[in-house]
Amino acid sequence: MSDLDRAIEQLRACRLIPESQVRELCYKARELLIEEGNVVSVDAPVTICGDIHGQFHDLMELFRVGGDVPDTNYLFMGDFVDRGFYSLESFLLLLCLKVRYPDRITLIRGNHESRQITTVYGFYDECIRKYGSANVWRYCCEVFDYLALGAIVLGASSELEPTSSTVNDTAQSNLAIADSELETEVLDSRGHVTMSTYRPRQRSSSDASTDSRNISPPRDISAAPGQVAAPSRSGAPGTGASSDGNGSAVTSRTGAVLCVHGGLSPLIDSVDKIRLIDRKQEVPHEGAMCDLLWSDPDEIEGWGLSPRGAGFLFGGDIVKQFNHLNGLSLVARAHQLVMEGYKEMFDGGIVTVWSAPNYCYRCGNVAAILELGEDASGGGTVARSNGEFGRSNGISGDNRVVSPGRRYRVFEAAAQDTRGMPAKKPVADYFL
């Protein structure tokens, strides 16, 4: 077993590795990350995750729900550290996995991956407490400077694959068929599905009825143990057979998915402009790089000032235009606590994914991860050699792209007895 595999095993057990090994790990990680562009290209299938915030035991729960690396490909959208008690164990494990399986895991930068923020919100203190000096904090911050600012997911399927074996057999037999555009599975602490919902694909936004398309998952996750509330569906398990004819109108190409921690910037009108940023630095207080890590979508028109004091608020019109101009079907972002784990806004043009259940060990929220399947039909986006993706050639016609099938797995915090942790004093400013 290599040193790296040993370190992974040790960190999985929530035990830290020696300082000298952290130093070596961070050096290797930087060598890898320096080769990545500001916007990493990632092929589906991939599972997209939001904020972790040092909640190590919940990260383990996330892997139980979503599958282990390298069996499942992961894209983490930043905010690995601060707030929780195990920022070191969480970030170092993810970094080990990145170095060990570089093509299986993508890490992008959150606004907490910063010297200034970690000094205030816990990671710096944790490093001092656990290692006795600021050395490890310094090594980690040097890695932060090299993390990508975003990722583009290509080749996502517009249809969902049957669910994998991460759910128990009983539930799976009820859930195996998923020809829907959007599916949510709520899992309890034992990995059992307690609720499942789905929404059939809609052909276009114009024929959507007046009902809100800001999708939120069901609130009731309190099904009794053993009670599986998943609805039964037609179609034989494992066949992927479609039970409702969607017609052929929407089998064209699936738009790419842009992943960033915060959101859009008034200084950035194309994905290519993100590629031009000099990212290898501390997160600036303003400018495009700052906005990508700090901004939030909001029910406004155009741009607005952010109450966070950094980044901007942006409305549905901004998202719609950005997605259209860039051939995107979806912006996936994190950064904001969502009690239901995820929240789609603006006709499904943007989604917030939040992966820290019971945030700060007291918010009472559930967490979610977003699974995008692989398009096996060959009709997906095609990456070009220059890094661009399936964009209109200027030939007139419908530039509309199809949304990818989205499966949200919603999960609760790891059982209390697996963590051994004290109650924490109340923390204000959750929005940071």
Q: Which residues are catalytic?
A: 112
Q: Total binding residues for Mn ion by CB under 5 A?
A: 4
Q: Which of residues 302-341 bind Mn ion (CB under 5 A)?
A: 335
Please say which residue, 182 or 337, places its beta carbon nearer to Mn ion: 337
Q: CA 66 to CA 367: how far, in whole Å? A: 12
Q: CA 146 to CA 30: how far, in whole Å? A: 6
- Kindly state the helix (H) or strand (E) to which residue 46 belongs, with its residue range: strand 46-49
Of residues 294, 284, 262, the one with CA closest to residue 115: 284
Please say which residue, 111 or 166, places its beta carbon nearer to Mn ion: 111
Segment contacting Mn ion by CB under 5 A, of 6-14, 79-87, 116-124, 128-136: 79-87
Please say which residue, 57 or 335, places its beta carbon nearer to Mn ion: 335
Query: Tokens at residue 107, please?
Result: 């890490």
Please say which residue, 81 or 99, places its beta carbon nearer to Mn ion: 81
Of residues 50, 340, 105, the one with CA closest to residue 214: 340
Q: In what order do the strands lie in the sheet with 312-314?
A: 296-297, 312-314, 303-305
Segment contacting Mn ion by CB under 5 A, of 85-93, 111-119, 264-272, 383-391: 111-119
Shortest Å distance, C-beta 359 to Mn ion: 11
Q: Which of residues 278-307 bind Mn ion (CB under 5 A)?
A: none
Q: Burial level of 235, CB count in 10 A (0-12/13-18/19+)?
A: middle
Q: Which of residues 215-234 bind Mn ion (CB under 5 A)?
A: none
Shortest Å distance, C-beta 62 to Mn ion: 17
Segment contacting Mn ion by CB under 5 A, of 110-118, 162-170, 197-205, 348-356: 110-118
Instruction: Centre a 10 Å sphere on the Cβ of residue 272 and count the other Cβ atoms it contains.
Output: 13
Binding to Mn ion by residue 109, rule CB under 5 A? no
User: Binding Mn ion by CB under 5 A: which of 47, 87, 111, 365?
Assistant: 111
Please say which residue, 167 or 368, places its beta carbon nearer to Mn ion: 368
Binding to Mn ion by residue 79, rule CB under 5 A? yes
Shortest Å distance, C-beta 261 to Mn ion: 6
Binding to Mn ion by residue 57, rule CB under 5 A? no
Instruction: Centre a 10 Å sphere on the Cβ of residue 140 and count the other Cβ atoms it contains.
Output: 26
Supply the angle between the helices 135-144 and 87-100 in degrees, to the nearest 10: 50
Q: CA 127 to CA 124: how far, in whole Å? A: 5
Query: Tokens at residue 82, please?
Result: 């601060």
Q: Write out the residues near Mn ion by the rule CB under 5 A.
A: 79, 110-111, 335
